[in-house]
Structure 1
Amino acid sequence: MSVFDTACGQVRGSGPDRGVVAVLGIPYAEPPFGADRFRAPRPRSPWAGIRDCADFGPVPPQSAQLPGAPSWSPGDEDVLSLNVWTPAAADGAAPGGPLPVLVWIHGGAYTFGSGAQPDFDGAALARAGLVVVTLNYRLGFEGFGHVPADGADPCPPNRGLLDQIAALTWVRRNIAAFGGAPGNVTVAGQSSGAASVACLMAMDSARGLFRRAIAHSAVGPCYSPELAGHLMEKVAAEAAVPATSAGLAAASPQTLVKASDAVVDAYRQNPHSGRHHWDPVLYGPVADGVHLRADPLAVLAGGAASGIDLLVCHTTQEYWLLDAVGSSAKVTTEEHLNRFAADFGLPDSLTQGYRGLMPEAPVGDVHLALYGDLMFGEYSSRLADAHARAGGRTFLSRFARQRGGSEPVAYAWHCADVPFAFGNLGEESIRFLIGGAPTAADHHLSARMTAAWVGFAATGEPGWEPLGASGGPVRTWDAADTTRAPAPGHWSDSGTVRTLWRSFGYRPLRP
């Protein structure tokens, strides 16, 4: 087994296994509980001797139980840890110099997930020439809930983002010991992890910690402080505690998880609760004007991150997954569709335009197409547009692979692209996402997507030309890849659909 020196002490990983050493559950900050609860993360204190790091660390408080991944146990406190996969040849000084580093931020609606999920195993990317890091960060109320100052020391918003910055700081200081290049770090994520990446690009406190960014299916926009405060009051009431700093601190993490789930369920059951009925996500980054000055769209448009290379991807049928797993309210009539559009402030031209592009589709499919683009597709594309127009090197791609012909068993839906890029198609836990055992064509597609990530992380070149200020080529990932300007003819890969969104603006969400 390999031993590595870090600033806090030595760690021992497992392997090598097929040429890769895994070092799991390395603490990067102090446990965020007790006096440190609701505070910014503190650097980890050193330890004596060699710390065995053959197993993933505890996951942050959450109610989700994800296939193949550890679940949270009340009482687990040492939740701020990260995992490193490195080629065995990179143990110490790598021949030919240090390797590019990819740091992965998991998604999960800022409420669930961890860096220990099987589809995020970094071994395949490490065999391709990267040092890979996945991490845990505070979720739910612990990471993103509003905590009033109440005359006490203020508890910062966006604590989950501050945890991510602490992990990137750890990478900058320690990754050379694992064969990685501290000056060649790419931060990557999907869904809320991709939106976290966009926030990190916009945050002054993350400046200089990475030089490239990958954002798959970024979701937006951010929350306003007013919305964060409003949701805090609902959670506090459900938890039967005062909506104060002391009251919230007195509630256990388990109590706040249960209260949050109860508030979500109430929104789901109430069709008159506005956009939260359709999308009952309680937590997200807060555009507080200090830690996060504004929504990343606005910050990137101002050129604040123009020195960072950006690779954006979204799937062409994002919301079909949320529908399949029961996370989306059903739309079965035109009345439902119109109410959905009104709750999100969508102009009539959008719903009419989507109906025109999908004349034979059931109303539920029109809703899913519209919703997926609202939450993921259009927001992701606008991040790419904003960054490119501000002078940042930007690459845009779409994942269109589905399985099953006209009646797919797996759509090109949310999350399906991730195991392809990680090279983890053999994981049993992702069979539902990709529609069964992978085919030879799937393995070829995965190899191409993995190569794009590796090329981008190493040199900033994924394999196609970047966008210009007025647009440019878009890579479509499918059985046969294409790289071209979007062509009319299909709503999910059409320049027409982008035109429909021109009358809609994203801004921080309010109560």
Structure 2
Amino acid sequence: MEVRRTRSGWVRGHRPAADVVAFLGIPYAAAPFGINRFREPRPVHAWEGVRECQDFGPVAPQSARLPGAPSWSPGDEDILTLNVWACASEGGPAPVVVWIHGGAYTFGSSAQPDFDGTALARAGVVAVSFNYRLGFEGFGHIPGGTEPSFPENRGLLDQVAALQWVRENIAAFGGDPENVTVAGQSSGAASAACLMVMERARGLFRRVIAHSVVGPCYSVELAAETTRRVAAAAAVAATAAEVTAATPQMLVAASDLVVDGYRRDPGSGPRHYDPVIYGPVVDGDVLPNDPLSAMAGGARGEVDLLVCHTAEEYWLLDAVGSSAKVTTDQQLAAFAMDFRLPDDLVAGYRALMPGAPVLDVYLAIFGDLRFSEYTSRLAEQHALAGGRTFMSRFERRREGPQGVVRAWHCADIPFAFGNLDVQSVEFLIGGPPDAADHELSRRMLAAWAGFAATGDPGWSPMDGVTPTVHIWDTAQDAARPQSTSTRALWSRTGFPLLRP
């Protein structure tokens, strides 16, 4: 049946495959512009008749143009939409996986081809993805504090609204509203971790899948400094009245100018190396604390957690040119100083990577700092606090047309979604997939589906004493001790090291 009823009205989908029905571009909240701009998401107005939901909704304001995905068009306002993939045959309630896309809180959308939920639906899961406000619209700080209805973390509040829609409507699509798993990667994974510690999201999901969690969060002071820089780049005063009057186009362009300024200035501190200027803000209200600190305090132990990181995260950022080049000993020493890394950390990596170029040492350290170490600590703290926790690492590499394609950032996601044959992912995975790749994808997708259904991905949870990590590779899967040599180097290093 391609027609289902939501609380706002009937929707008609289509069949991307004979056994799957997809509903695309369903509004879950009102358009966040006009009187709704910079405010909490508002309820969507009901419609009459049957709404055609066979195309993805517009993407949030951004300047990125991603392969195979739509780009933002100024004037597109109905951006708070979601997508549902479900088994075409009606049956008992199925587990639900709600996907939060990544993109440095600044770009991306649910319409990216590698996020298609058809394979997940075939695996017995009702898959949901959605768009949310990005960049200044979603995470920019509104100065002055004169208008309390301009909250911080509007992008996170959009995510809560999407989960509330799932709670109220997913049964009509065959999903179980009492068995919801939130999944995400990179900034999407960090968003999922934030949702774990947000009171407004309590009770809306029971499990989290978080791949390559980036952290920690921003302070209000750093968010305010970003606003001052963006306002200056937009040639407006850093006041609530002038910033909120600036058009989305102005704020996107101004944000790009600020990012470019950090890239060009080696003396600009941590943001020079990878200038992500937006993200969740620890405001004490919407987001009470950084997730890692909250986990250490025992928050949300009732939520099952499955985490994964890749073995060579930062090599992707270097390959696409979004990270500063560090190729000399002097640059590496400046990098370590900017991030206040211990004196022996760089020496330890050099000893573990004899003969490696400076760039490789830098990428290894930065990848662990930004993703691997934060992800691992999040899992460890959740397990130590009594939460049911599973850890995994993606290590699949292969020879591609341009040489070795590493186990880098984002490469694991097409495997977990079962979307290896999408042409736009060939850069990530090193060309067309082979039989071993498809078998790895089958195992990863089954782990996601099993975890969503029962809380068991297929291996033992961490026990908090001798934690192990499940390895994803085409050769074979295995469980290994989590405490690798690099983890030992980080054992004397505290967080946060970023975004003070």
TM-score over 0.5 for the pair: yes
Report if the CA contact (8 A) 1:310-1:395 is conserved.
Answer: yes
1:478 partnered with 2:478 = no
- Runs of 4 or more, structure 1, over 6 Å off, are none
- 2:205 aligns with 210
Counterpart of 1:490 in structure 2 is none
Once the two structures are TM-superposed, the CA of residue 307 in structure 1 deviates from its matched residue by 0.2
Q: Aligned partners of 2:498 and 2:157: how far apart in 1?
A: 21
2:108 alignment counterpart: 113
1:506 maps onto 2:482 in alignment: no
Secondary structure, aligned partner of 2:346: helix
The Cα shift of 1:304 comes to: 1.5
Instruction: Tell me how far 1:232 sits from its aligned partner.
Output: 0.5
1:232-243 matched pairs, under 5 angstroms: 232-243=227-238
How far does the alpha carbon of each residue in 1:19-70 deviate from its partner, in whole angstroms, 9 at most, with x for none? 1001000000000011111101011111111100000000000000111111
Question: SS of the residue aligned with 1:114?
Answer: coil
Report how far residue 498 of structure 1 moved.
0.9
CA distance in 2, matches of 1:175, 1:434: 33
Q: Which residue of 2 aligns with 1:7?
A: 7
Partners of 2:33 and 2:259 in 1: how far apart? 24
> Partner amino acid for 1:7?
R
For normalisation by structure 2, the TM-score amounts to 0.98
The amino acid of 2:11's aligned partner reads V
The answer for the alignment partner of 1:387 in structure 2 is: 382
- What letter corresponds to residue 319 of structure 1 in structure 2? Y
Distance 1:311 1:483 in 2: 16
1:16, CA displacement in angstroms? 5.8
CA shift at 1:484, angstroms?
Answer: 2.5
1:29: which partner in 2?
A: 29
1:510 CA displacement = 4.6
In the alignment, does 2:181 pair up with 1:192?
A: no
One-letter code aligned to 1:501: W
User: How many angstroms apart in 1 are the aligned matches of 2:302 and 2:476?
Assistant: 29
Q: How many residues align?
A: 500
How far apart, CA to CA, are the structure 1 residues paired with 2:124 and 2:29?
Answer: 28
Structure 1 length as normaliser, TM-score? 0.96
Q: Distance in 2 between matches of 1:149 and 1:211?
A: 37
Q: Which residue is equivalent to 1:495? A: 484
Which moves more between the two structures, 48-57 or 141-150?
A: 141-150
Alignment of 1:43-122 (within 5 A): 43-90=43-90, 94=91, 97-122=92-117
Native 8 Å contact 2:339 2:497 kept in 1: no
Q: 1:354 aligns with which of 333, 349, 369?
A: 349
User: 1:302 offset after TM fit, Å?
Assistant: 1.4
Q: Deviations over 1:416-447 (max 9, x none)?
A: 00000000000000000000000100000000
Matches for 1:231-270 after TM superposition, within 5 Å:
231-270=226-265
Contact 2:339 2:498 in 1 (8 A): no
Distance in 1 between residues matched to 2:486 and 2:16, nearest whole Å: 48
Structure 2, unmatched stretches of 5+, are none
**Once the 2 structures are TM-superposed, how far is the Cα of residue 5 of structure 1 from its aligned partner?**
0.4
Q: Report how far residue 150 of structure 1 moved.
A: 4.5
Match of residue 399, structure 2, among 401, 404, 409:
404
Moved more, 13-22 or 43-52: 13-22
SS in structure 2 of the partner of residue 62 of structure 1: coil
- Of 135, 138, 148, the residue aligned with 2:133 is 138
- Which deviates more from structure 2 when the two are superposed, residues 227-236 or residues 339-348? 339-348
**Aligned residues of 2:388 and 2:462 also touching (Cα < 8 A):** yes
Partner of 1:491: none
Q: Which residue of 2 aligns with 1:319?
A: 314
User: Is 1:376 matched up with 2:365?
Assistant: no
How far apart are residue 152 of structure 1 and its match?
2.7
TM-aligned CA deviation for residue 291 of structure 1: 1.2
Distance 2:322 2:85 in 1: 33
Contact 1:81 1:136 in 2 (8 A): yes
Measure how far apart 1:358 and its partner are. Answer: 0.4
**1:218-276 CA distances to partner (integer Å, 9 max, x unpaired)?**
00010000000000000000001111111011110010000000000010001110011
User: What letter is aligned with 2:73?
Assistant: S
Task: For residue 508 of structure 1, report the CA deviation from its aligned partner.
Answer: 7.9
Amino acid paired to 1:162: L
What SS does the aligned partner of 1:330 have? coil
CA distance in 2, matches of 1:317, 1:208: 35
Aligned residue in 1 for 2:38: 38
C-alpha spacing 1:509/1:229, structure 2 compared with 1 (3 Å): farther
Give CA-to-partner distance per residue, 1:487-511, whole Å, 9 cap, x none: 7xxxxxx622111112222238556
Structure 1: distance between partners of 2:232 and 2:457: 49
Distance 1:150 1:207 in 2: 27
Match of 2:454 in 1: 459
Distance in 1 separating the partners of 2:428 and 2:481: 26
1:408: how far off?
4.3
Whether the 8 Å contact between 1:287 and 1:508 is mirrored in structure 2 is no
